[in-house]
Amino acid sequence: LVSASVSHIREHNRLTPDPANPLNRIQTGEARIRGAELESRLQPIRQVQLLLNYTFLDARILRSNGPDRGMRLPVVPRHNTSLWATRSFAVRSLDGLLTLGGGVRYNGASFDGRDSLRTPSFTLVDLMGSFERNSWRFAVNAANLADKTYLSACLARGDCFYGMRRTVTATLGYRF
């Protein structure tokens, strides 16, 4: 399966500085986001699935009362890509299905809305495992497996935010 999409989004009434009082903000701004996404789901061998994704976004401020006209929207990376692979195994002794998987996510660099403060790109590794039997499913997911320290966003006012540390989540579900 291969899918592609192209988008053109216009956002009206964005907050922008009030020319009469710079301490206030008014809704007269406008932004444009042009993008394309390509995704492919492959099954190269039995019980193995690959999911590849690439996203390109050109997000710009079109109208503003501030100095940010024509600049990139804050915290929107131009390039994102990911690769995820899973493999399923029948566990006959437990009458269930074991699935193991892993993936890599890349977020490109983003800017602060004034194109002066750049948030660096980062790459993260995730893992998962699940066991299904009848209507029950138990899963364990680990995001940012290497516990990489990275900045997820930096804003024009100068503050930056760290991304999520390693997170391990276990779930138990029942399908009706």
Joined together, the tokens standing for residue 44 give 């190269």
Confidence of residue 121 (pLDDT cuts 50, 70, 90): very high
> Is it the case that residue 67 has pLDDT exceeding 90?
no
pTM: 0.87
Between CA 8 and CA 81 the distance in angstroms is: 20
| High-pLDDT (> 90) share of the chain, % | 82
Which pLDDT score, from 0 to 100, does residue 63 have? 92
**Least confident piece of the model among 52-61, 63-72, 118-127:** 63-72
Between CA 101 and CA 164 the distance in angstroms is: 20
Between CA 112 and CA 9 the distance in angstroms is: 20
